[in-house]
Amino acid sequence: MLRHWLLLCACLGASLAFAGSFFVLSHTQQNQGLQTAASGAALLLLVLVTARWRTVIDAMLSDAPGAAAPRLTDRPRLTLFIASFVALFLELALIRYTRSQLRVFSFFKNVPLIAVYLGLGIGCAIGGGRPRHVIAFLLWFVPLAIFLAGGAFVFAGALGGFAAAASSEQVLGDIVVRDPSEAVAFAGQVGMGVFCLITLLTLASLFVPIGRLLGDAFERLPRLTAYSVNIAGSLIGSAAFLILGYLWTPPWLWVLIGLVPLL
């Protein structure tokens, strides 16, 4: 799994660095280009650091003897509360942040919502949550956050064009495709369908490890206790994000608060 993560992050980091450099050198959208290039460079640096500690991280991701002790799963109430808090908090953060970085999600906003619940449901059904699933979630969340922060604008225009061509309504104010042909409209519909499907599967897969922690903790507790802890963690996660939104806090703080409880 770590090898795939390293490969994906290296490709994404190099792509962001190249795209950002292109925008800077072409003197178009220089500020966003600098942010994209910096995000790509940061991701490449993270890849190098992770590769340096690959043996240690591989041990943490394995079930072999000597791997990380199951600290959280020995305390199911704490596990359930943290997983519930993180799931609801990061779900709201993703819904809010994706629609600001990729404007098509202002109109397809149910896609992240359905994806997160699908991943949590699959994870709960599988169960058997272990600390390695926490590590896996943290690892895979990093490239997603970096892509949304630094690279989303590179694809936003193309996605807006697909959305405008696919819809009979003017869904994006600054992107208009007037009287598209049937072929163009069909291509736009297929393109948006594929994009939404990829987004759905990606986010669902990302949240499966958190769902596994939830499922394992539920099995270790009486039902009434488990549901009470689950609801409490979910409500506190929702309230925490509401307060952060009211205070106009930056997205990096959302990610930090959402991930720190898992450490």
Confidence class for position 76, pLDDT limits 50, 70, 90 = confident
Instruction: Say if residue 163's pLDDT is above 80.
Output: no
Same domain for 94 and 164? yes
Alpha-carbon distance 15 to 13, whole Å?
5
Cβ contact 163:192 at 8 Å: yes
Q: Is the domain of 120 the same as that of 196? A: yes
- The residue type found at 206 is L
- The structure tokens 């930056």 sit at 250
Query: How many alpha carbons lie under 13 Å from residue 31 in its C-beta half-sphere?
Result: 0
The CB density around residue 76, as the number of other CB atoms within 10 Å, is 20
Q: What are phi and psi of 136, to 5 degrees?
A: -60, -45
User: What average pLDDT does the segment 48-68 reach?
Assistant: 74
Predicted confidence band of residue 209 (pLDDT cuts 50, 70, 90)? very high
What is the span of the domain harbouring residue 52? 1-67
With a cut of 50, say whether residue 66 has pLDDT above it. no
* pLDDT for 174 beyond 80: no
Tell me which of 67, 89, 114 is where a domain ends.
67
Which has more pLDDT, 88 or 181? 88
223 & 155 share domain: yes
Supply the DSSP symbol for 72: G
- Identity at 131, one-letter amino acid code: P
Tally of CB atoms within 10 A around 24: 17
The pLDDT of residue 172 is 58
pLDDT score at 187: 79
Q: Are 190 and 172 in contact (CB under 8 A)?
A: no
pLDDT of residue 128: 84
17-21, 43-47, 69-73: least confident range: 69-73
Q: How many domains does the chain have?
A: 2
Q: Is the pTM of this model over 0.75?
A: yes
Q: Looking at 46, 67, 88, which one is the last position of a domain?
A: 67
Query: Quick one: 53 and 85 in the same domain?
Result: no
The pLDDT of residue 27 is above 60: yes
Cα distances (Å, whole numbers) of residue 123 to 154, 166, 247:
32, 34, 33
Within this chain, do residues 220 and 138 fall inside the same structural domain, yes or no? Answer: yes
Do residue 143 and residue 196 come from a single domain?
A: yes
Amino acid, single-letter form, for residue 172:
L
Is pLDDT above 70 for 49? yes
Q: Quick one: average pLDDT of 93-107? A: 82
81 and 49 in a common domain? no
- Of the segments 64-68, 102-106, 240-244, which one has the largest average pLDDT value? 240-244
Assess whether 128 and 185 both reside in one domain. yes
> Which residue among 12, 47, 67 closes a domain?
67
Nearest to 160 by CA among 92, 91, 95, 108: 108
Q: Which two tokens stand for residue 57?
A: 């991280």
| 247 band by pLDDT with thresholds 50, 70 and 90 | very high
C-beta of residue 35 within 8 angstroms of C-beta of residue 20: yes
Residues 2 and 89 in one domain: no
**Which pLDDT does position 192 carry in this prediction?**
80
How high is the pLDDT of residue 169? 62
Mean of the per-residue pLDDT values for the chain?
Answer: 83
pLDDT of residue 201: 92
What is the chain's Cα-based Rg?
Answer: 20
248 and 232 in a common domain: yes
Judge if 51 and 161 occupy the same domain.
no
Q: Please report which confidence band the pLDDT of residue 63 belongs to, taking 50, 70 and 90 as the band edges.
A: low
Give the pLDDT mean for 91-117: 85
Q: Look at residues 8, 3, 34 and name the one whose alpha carbon lies nearest to residue 144.
A: 8
Whether 89 and 51 map to the same domain: the answer is no
